[in-house]
Structure 1
Amino acid sequence: MSDLIESKEYFEESFKKLEMGESRLVETVFEKCEFIQCDFSSASFTSCKFIDCLFDRCNLSLVALANTRLSNIEFLGCKLVGIDWTKAYWPRFDFYSQLNFKDCILSGGSFFALKLHESTFEDCRLHDVDFRNTELNKSVITGSDLSNSLFMQTNLESVDFTDSYSFNIDIRQNKLSKAKFSQLEALALLRSLDILLVD
């Protein structure tokens, strides 16, 4: 299939190597679909729905998600740079983000104040990501590079940060009860206390 059609419902379809950079889709529904090596860079999705979908090695950098619903979505090896996730449709009473990322690049994105309970970020590059005021409790953020990402009033209770690194998390400004860190990387949590560590 070469192009996607606006305002159509797609069910259990597989799309491979679609070139849809800078395209625009409105009120289009995808359920149980998979996208493999597709290019959606700078595309615009308005009032669309993605339900139980898989994106495998796709480029979705700078995609716009205005009022678009994302439910139980898995991203594998995708490029997702510069996305404002806050523009998507997030139901008030849906307490689980149902977003799973593995081996993805999510740098420059914003999850500001979203409810992302039990999300998964595995082996991801998360440079300059805005996690301020975000609910991430019980999430898995393992093996990921969090350079220059922002955490402030963030709920990180019971988050698994095993093997993640380069984070700057102020333990006085975030909820960290029962969060799990690799022993060596956990020393970075002491930076905010203005104390001196000696051998």
Structure 2
Amino acid sequence: MKSFTDGMQYLDAQFKKLELPDTHYTDIEFEECLFEDCDFSRAKFKQCKFINCDFIRCNLSLIDLTGSKLFGATFQESKLIGVDWTKATWPVYHLDFELKFQRCILNDSSFFGLTLNELIADACKLHEVDFREGDFRKSTLSGCDFTHSLFMNTNLENVDFSESTDFAINVLENKVKGARFSRYEASSLLELLGIELVD
């Protein structure tokens, strides 16, 4: 297969080494599909559905998901730079969309205002990612690099930040009750309050 067909349904299909940058698709449903070593950079998937799909070593940078729905999607060792996740459709009757990112690069992305409880990001790069106004309760964001990422009015209750680094989270401007941080990195939370730590 060299491309997809608009309006089609793909069930339990495997797509390997597809090179489809800058392509446009509409109203396609993918369920239980595997995407491996594919390039969908700058592609547009509008009004599509990705249900229980796995993306392994794919390039999804600057992908446009306007009006699309994702549930149970797993991304492994993939590039998702500059993705505006707010363009996708996130039904209000769901709080947990079972999204999982493992060893991915999500720099310059936006989750502004989204409710994505129990989101999983493991050993990911999350530089300059916008988490403001979002609700990420009970998420696992461990082993990640949050350099210059934005948190403001963000619900981070019971989030596991263990082994994560370089976050700037003001505990007065975000909900952090029950959140877990590595002991050394937790000191940065106090520095934002103007508290000086001494040995």
Q: TM-score, normalised by structure 2?
A: 0.99
Aligned to 1:35, the other structure's residue is in SS state: strand
Structure 2: gaps (5+ residues): none
Q: How many residues align?
A: 199
Deviations 1:58-98 (A, max 9, x none): 00000001000001100000000000000001101111132
Check conservation: 1:97, 1:115, Cα contact below 8 A. Answer: no
User: Counterparts of 1:76 and 1:22 in 2: how far apart (Å)?
Assistant: 22
How far did 1:4 drift?
1.3
Check conservation: 1:64, 1:84, Cα contact below 8 A. Answer: yes
Which residue in 2 is equivalent to 1:108? 108
Deviations 1:11-53 (A, max 9, x none): 0000000011000110000000000000000000110000010
Which residue in 1 is equivalent to 2:73? 73
**Residue identity opposite 2:88 in structure 1:** A
User: Counterparts of 2:102 and 2:187 in 1: how far apart (Å)?
Assistant: 26
Aligned to 2:180, the other structure's residue is in SS state: coil
Deviations 1:135-168 (A, max 9, x none): 1110000000000000001111000000000000
Aligned to 1:137, the other structure's residue is in SS state: coil
**Residue identity opposite 1:78 in structure 2:** S
User: Counterparts of 1:40 and 1:173 in 2: how far apart (Å)?
Assistant: 37
Aligned to 2:35, the other structure's residue is in SS state: strand
User: Counterparts of 2:14 and 2:50 in 1: how far apart (Å)?
Assistant: 13
Which residue in 2 is equivalent to 1:8? 8
Structure 1: gaps (5+ residues): none
Which residue in 2 is equivalent to 1:151? 151
Which residue in 2 is equivalent to 1:186? 186
Which residue in 2 is equivalent to 1:41? 41
User: Counterparts of 2:48 and 2:182 in 1: how far apart (Å)?
Assistant: 39
Aligned to 1:121, the other structure's residue is in SS state: strand
Aligned to 2:192, the other structure's residue is in SS state: helix
Quick one: percent identity of the two aligned structures?
Answer: 46
User: Counterparts of 1:23 and 1:98 in 2: how far apart (Å)?
Assistant: 27
User: Counterparts of 1:80 and 1:138 in 2: how far apart (Å)?
Assistant: 23
User: What is the correspondence of 1:126-145 to structure 2 with a 5 Å cutoff?
Assistant: 126-145=126-145
User: Counterparts of 1:174 and 1:112 in 2: how far apart (Å)?
Assistant: 14
Q: TM-score, normalised by structure 1?
A: 0.99
Check conservation: 1:132, 1:152, Cα contact below 8 A. Answer: yes
User: Counterparts of 1:36 and 1:6 in 2: how far apart (Å)?
Assistant: 21
**Residue identity opposite 1:75 in structure 2:** F
Check conservation: 1:160, 1:181, Cα contact below 8 A. Answer: yes
Deviations 1:95-145 (A, max 9, x none): 113210000000000000101100100000000000001111100000000
Which residue in 2 is equivalent to 1:55? 55
